[in-house]
A and B are shown apart, each in its own frame.
With several copies, the nearest count.
Chain A
Amino acid sequence: MEKTTYRQALHDGLYDTLKSDPKTFLIGEDVGRYGGSYAVSKGMLQEFGEERIKDTPLSESVFTGLGIGAAMGGMHPIVEIMTCNFALLALDQITNNAGTLRHMSGGQITIPLVIRISTGAGRQLAAQHSHSWEGWFSHIPGIKIISPATVTDARYMLQAAVKDPNPVLLFEQAALYNMEGNLEDVREVDISKARVLKEGSDISFITYGASVYKCLEAAEELEKLKVSAEVIDLRSLRPLDMPTILTSVTKTHRALIVDEGWRSGSLSAEIAARISEECFYELDAPVLRVCSEEIPMPYAKELEQKSMPQTSSILQAAKESLHGGY
């Protein structure tokens, strides 16, 4: 197994995609000359030229809509929105066009579009650059939402997304760009399935993205206490892979969802609601959630860290679930 970083894996995946599919091209702010705000597309302009690596003006709404239109025209655009915090400017296009046009036209329109968006806190970028809105956006029918947590997924999810005939939002985890990991020996990944990263029998941790590592850490801690936690990386936030989730909870009878989004109305709520709906009688304890505090993300390091799910808060919630803190 090869070692690589999350950033490099994303870069390589992007490179391969552009190389293998001549209908693809990358557009977004500073994807070209600057090399991508997180350096994922560094060197691409030199490699693929201006025709396929297109720096845009600061116009999130329209370059996203332009991607939708180009996809309708048979291309396979890859749009980059620097961070999800700016994606609200494009949310009309994503929702009312990308997510709607196929159905509204009676199934005539196809939109093979990928939108790459970075997400997440932990880098002290404060309240207009730090939120995790992928769960929030997963309310929208007509789009898929995926987010890689591992370098392998970082490497191959984009290719799978580009092959998917639907609009796919791929959320890159800003906190993981520098993470090193082992690239598994695969050539592609299936973006429809969640993945059990660690098997366990006493409690199911359901999570995705950067929180995966905190859950794994918490699970390790729990092993010391002879508690066996299962850790599920959702990978796809819309649609949700419910069979994998339900199989796990049916086995462990306890579920804890860890979600970096603001708690109220987060993806964690949907998952909790579904677990209760679909395997209520299997549950030995209420489904619990560890989410971000419902405040605009503060800048100060300590405050930011306290606002986010942490290994310690996961552990605490797990113990509550196991011992019935109620």
Chain B
Amino acid sequence: MASKERTTVEQKIKEQLSVEEAKQILFDMIRIRELEEASAQQYSEGKIRGFLHLYIGEEPIAATILPLLKPQDQFFGTYREHAHALMKGITARSIMAEMFGKVEGCSKGRGGSMHIFDLSKSFYGGNAIVAGHLPLAIGMALANKMQKNDLISICFFGEGAIAEGEFHESMNMAKLWKLPVLFVCENNYYAMGTALERSESQTNLIEKAKSYKVEAKRVNGRNVAEIKEAAKQAIDFVRSEQQPYFLEAQTYRLVAHSMFDSQQYRSKEEVEYWKKHHDPIAEYIHQLKCLGWVNSNEIKEMQDKAKTEMDDAISYAQAGTTEDFQSCMQDVLIGEY
């Protein structure tokens, strides 16, 4: 990053964040990274199975946006949602136990990595049909609006979801019916192995959103201050105007799509470049250090704390139990059937 640019970034941090806030976000980013690395580790040890999608490289988005919500604002996310779950206040224990398939997990171990749900935190998944949760989010927004409860729903999805008909129908209905929903598109430029330019004829996603007359803004998903500023405005807009909003956060997935992915579709060099130059945690640490807002000791402390949290989560998950099969036969319908 050019030094001029860097100054601007730091300027913006000072403008948008208090030292406390800035450090909290850093800590949360570190927690997310630790959670993801712990998950990868547990996957390789066979404790976590199925699909596992990591958020490494995308941390600033969830770490910055989620804390801006009211606790009761409803979140709808994808299968790449550990970070969002953690940020919405679900404990690492509960998340890890879920990934271990234990009944102590927030979804009783029925869902695993892709299906984290915790209604006490207004966390509605963990949805694994790409774009299938967008209609749920706008429906929730309608319920909020009809009940005048001043809540908004927030819906995260990847840029790959935009090609689905559900995106189109949801954007249109959200705008037509003035639904208070914040769409957050995490544009990491790949949907599995399909690059954005092979998935969208119009790669300017803001233009796409605007074609529904939905307000839209793009942010650099590695720039915490920029994300915060835009997300705050967006959330306020959605809540006060009772209208949808589309926020694009440009980012890069530094790891494979899932543990099954051998990444034939992008070069090692490309990934290495991003890892080396644009690891968002390293970038952010650098910025805060330049500002003199954190020092290496504090960072070490944060890392240790996060590691301890994740170690504890793993022990908790490890000690958990599998749901009884008879119990697992419940909850298909309510009542006798």
Check A214 for interface membership: any CB of B closer than 8 A: no
The contact string, 1 if C-beta is below 8 Å from chain A, for chain B 151-187, is 0010000001101111001101100110000000000
- Known contacts A67-B139, A166-B334; is A105 also within 8 Å of B102 by CB? no
Q: Kindly state the separation between the CA atoms of A303 and B110 in the bound complex, as whole angstroms.
A: 8
- The reply to whether A58 and B191 contact each other, CB–CB distance below 8 Å, is yes
Q: Does A29 contact B (CB under 8 A)?
A: yes
The 8 A CB mask of A56-89 against B (1 = contact, 0 = none) is: 1111111111111111111101000000011001
Q: Among B102, B136, B173, which residue has the most Cβ atoms of chain A within 10 A?
A: B136
Contacts of A77 in B (CB 8 A): 139
- Tell me if B331 counts as interface (CB < 8 A to partner A): yes
A29-B169 Cα distance, complex, nearest whole Å: 13
Whole-angstrom CA separation of A171 from B144 in the bound complex: 29
Asked whether B166 lies within 8 Å of A65 as measured between CB atoms, the reply is yes
Contact B194 A69 (CB under 8 A): no
Q: Is the CB of B329 within 8 A of A295?
A: yes
Q: Is A11 on the interface with B (CB-CB < 8 A)?
A: no
Q: Are B261 and A34 in contact (CB under 8 A)?
A: yes
Stretch in contact with the other chain, from A125-133, A179-187, A249-257: A125-133
Cβ–Cβ < 8 Å partners of A68 in chain B: 135-136, 139
Whether B112 pairs with A299 at a CB distance below 8 angstroms is yes
Which of B50, B109, B134 touches A123 (beta carbons < 8 Å)?
Answer: B50
Q: Are B101 and A299 within 8 A (Cβ)? A: yes
Which residues of chain A have C-beta atoms less than 8 A from B105's C-beta? 106
Q: Which of A92-100, A198-206, A270-278 contacts B (4 or more CB under 8 A)?
A: A92-100
Residues of B within 8 A of A129 (CB): 50-51, 114, 128
Please indicate the chain A residues that have their CB under 8 angstroms from the CB of B333 in the complex. 102, 141-144, 166, 239
Alpha-carbon gap, A72 to B329, bound state (A): 21
Q: Which stretch (A107-115, A148-156, A218-226, A280-288) binds chain B? A: A107-115
Nearest CB of chain B from residue A294's CB, rounded to whole Å = 7
Residues of B within 8 A of A57 (CB): 160, 163, 169, 172-173, 176, 191, 194, 198-200
A4: interface (CB < 8 Å): no
B193 partner, pick from A33, A65, A101, beta carbons under 8 A: A33
- Cβ–Cβ contact A62 & B191, under 8 A: no
Query: Complex: how many Å from CA A123 to CA B101?
Result: 13
Q: Verify A56–B50 contact, CB threshold 8 A.
A: no
**Which of B130, B153, B191, B331 lies in contact with A106, CB distance below 8 A?**
B331
CB-contact partner of B143 in A42, A70, A123, under 8 A: A70
Cβ contact within 8 Å between B136 and A306: no
CB atoms of A58 and B332 under 8 A apart: no
**In the bound complex, do residue B114 and residue A128 qualify as a contact, i.e. CB atoms below 8 Å apart?**
yes
In residues 136-162 of chain A, which contact B (Cβ within 8 Å)? Answer: 141-144
Q: How far in angstroms is the closest Cβ of chain A from B66?
A: 19
Q: How far is the CA of A303 from the CA of B160 in the complex (A)?
A: 32
State whether the Cβ of A49 lies closer than 8 Å to any Cβ in chain B. Answer: no
The answer to whether B140 and A73 touch across the interface, beta carbons within 8 angstroms, is: yes
10 contacts between A and B (CB under 8 A): A33-B264, A57-B169, A62-B134, A66-B173, A69-B139, A103-B331, A129-B50, A298-B109, A299-B109, A303-B325
Binding site for A on B (CB under 8 A): 49-51, 74, 101-102, 105-112, 114-115, 117-119, 124-125, 127-144, 146-147, 153, 160-161, 163-166, 169-170, 172-173, 176-177, 191-195, 198-200, 260-262, 264-265, 322-323, 325, 328-337
